[in-house]
A = this chain, B = another copy of it.
Amino acid sequence: MFRSSVNRDILSPISFLSRSARVYPDKVAVIYGELLFTYREFQARVHQLANALLAKGIGPGGKVVFICPNTPPMLEAHYAIPMIGAVLVCVNSQLSRREYLHIINHSDAKAVFVDNEFSPRIQPIVDELDKVELFVTICDDSCAPQLQGPEYEAFLATGATTPPAVEGIIDEDALIAINYTSGTTGKPKGVMCSHRSTYLHTVGEIIESSLGPDSVYLWTLPMFHCNGWGFAWAVTAVGATHVCLRHDLPQEIFGLIEKESVSHLSAAPNILLLMICYPEAAQVKLRRPLQILTAGASPSPAIIQGMEDIGANITHVYGLTELHGPHSVCAWQAPWVELDPDNVARMKARQGVPYTTSLHMAVVDPLTMQPVPDDGLTMGEIVMRGNNVMLGYYKDQEATDLAFRDGWFHSGDLGVMHPDGYIQIMDRANDIIVRGGDIISSLEIEEVIYRHPDILEVAVVSAPDPIWGEVPKAFVVAKLGRKPTENEIIEFCRKNHAQFKAPETVEFCQLPKTATGKTIKAQLRSREWLGLERKVS
């Protein structure tokens, strides 16, 4: 399946499945409800899918779209498609028709696999998907295929369980996947990942999260999000067990944690919030230590404390789709055991230091590209280098050149470098609030409000103001049963922070979120600004 000589193998995460199928053939690889697949069975299904695709003329270089929740077919896709040299394009299952149309056509997909829950979103645009030659419907929740084409299990049955007879991967820098950015600004861009970059990022995930053969990984993080930060491959690499999960419902999550003795999960803070707000969370007894990786937004002190109360340990990681997911980790330091919980939470909420496999991360002055002082105060842009940085954006050299200017990948996030070498995001570049001439970081205010005992979640954005041009406005979710007032919040900010940085107004509401759990600040901001155009420096 991939080229190899006596002392040179192509670095590809595909190799992990053949190794685990050899070492642990009878061990459970995948659990999905009552369904179990051993590593032998998992590999056989992967080979079937690979062979079935080959028979349809899809091989090296062919793009295959998957729109699927965290069910076994989604895992199988992560091996079968790259194994024949084809390119996996996992697409967010919560997009609009327009977005699907753009991504499927832009990626040059020759095949589209859709879970039945989402096929109604694809059906209306089928005629506009010019290059697609094969539609496969995955029937999981319901049964009738809705798209013209085979049903997934029937399609699998057309392929042999033997390894596909194709030398699919002849170069470790070849494409393994294209992951589209969430496109909060402009059209989604196709992030190109190679076999090598993916292998090395996967190794990084194994090391940072101490995955081992007896680990049990619960799929709370969507695999369409940077291939589940690489865990689609990392869990297999060590011969651990995948526990699939269709919907992130707290009772299901807790049920599986108990039933399957889950040791690891990854999730955006909004899922963790769901978990700690689950009324029966307090009754949960964890049978083994639970390691949680979280990213997408800093976990609030309330979330960190809440998860630790039920016996889980949270590690904060940070990255972007362009970096295969996490690039940095807020690595634990032994002396932190001396700190009180608030300060531990503050330490843990930082974006941290590079992974063992990613190495380079700096906060630089955007004009000079020189590192800012490590004073925890001076803001600059967070930039990265490393083997886990994407090859580039698919069919967009201009955007690639812009992102790669000056020899670094530009995150667009603003941060500071602390004296201990840890990086902290102060703001996404377009979330700065300029009140008069004063620059206010919305995250800075959020951090203060998070310290208020009645607050569960907060998002601060800029709002228009006749005097100052713009001012901060806070959107706040109170803890269950708590009823803080607007004035209390504003006073709390004035007392605990620079007075001019206190929000002008506070609104109590639910926060809009992306499918991956990021608060969509742009939505809150545009509501405030109505149709006003605003140029951000």
Contact = CB atoms under 8 A, between A and B. Distances in A.
B207 A408 contact: no
A407 B212 contact: no
Contact of A409 (B7, B212, B359): B7
A197 interface: yes
A359 B23 CA distance: 10
Contacts of A212: 210
A6 B237 contact: no
Interface string A320-351: 00000000000111100000000000000000
Given A4-B385, A210-B212, A331-B213, A356 B19 contact: yes
Contacts of A238: 207, 356
Interface stretch (A124-132, A387-395, A487-495, A502-510): A387-395
A7 B386 contact: yes
Contact of A332 (B210, B213, B407, B408): B213
A8 interface: yes
Contacts of A333: 24, 27
A354 interface: yes
Contacts of A213: 331-332
Given A19-B354, A22-B353, A356-B19, A387 B331 contact: no
A360 interface: yes
Given A16-B356, A237-B356, A356-B19, A6 B421 contact: no
A359 B15 contact: yes
Contacts of A23: 331, 353, 421
B385 A7 contact: yes
A464 interface: no
B207 A385 contact: no
Contact of A8 (B11, B22, B206, B387): B387
A260 to B, nearest CB: 15
A203 interface: yes
Nearest to A200: B11
Given A19-B356, A212-B210, A237-B356, A389 B334 contact: no
B389 A6 contact: yes
Interface in A368-416: 385-387, 389-391, 404, 407-409
A25 B210 CA distance: 22
A interface residue count range (under 10 / 10 to 19 / 20 to 34 / 35 or more): 35 or more
B356 A22 contact: no
A407 B6 contact: yes
B354 A6 contact: no
A117 to B, nearest CB: 35
A283 interface: no
Nearest to A421: B22
A28 to B, nearest CB: 10
A421 B24 CA distance: 9
A5 interface: yes
A421 B25 contact: yes
A258 interface: no
A9 interface: yes
B354 A9 contact: no
Interface string A181-220: 0000000000000000100100100110010111000000
A9 B387 contact: yes
A353 B331 CA distance: 32
Contacts of A385: 4-7, 9
Interface in A4-41: 4-9, 11, 15-16, 18-19, 22-25, 27
Contacts of A332: 213
B359 A408 contact: no
Contacts of A24: 331, 333
A4 B387 CA distance: 9
Contacts of A25: 421
Given A213-B332, A421-B22, A390 B7 contact: yes
Contacts of A18: 359
A239 to B, nearest CB: 8
Nearest to A386: B9
Cβ-closest 8 pairs across A and B:
A7-B389, A23-B353, A6-B404, A9-B387, A6-B385, A22-B421, A210-B212, A203-B203
Given A19-B354, A214-B334, 17 more contacts: A6-B408, A7-B385, A7-B391, A7-B404, A8-B387, A9-B386, A11-B200, A11-B387, A15-B359, A18-B359, A23-B331, A23-B353, A24-B333, A203-B203, A207-B238, A210-B210, A239-B331
24 contacts: A5-B385, A6-B408, A6-B409, A7-B386, A7-B391, A7-B404, A7-B409, A9-B385, A9-B386, A9-B387, A11-B387, A18-B359, A19-B354, A19-B356, A23-B353, A24-B333, A27-B333, A27-B334, A203-B207, A206-B207, A207-B207, A210-B210, A210-B212, A238-B356
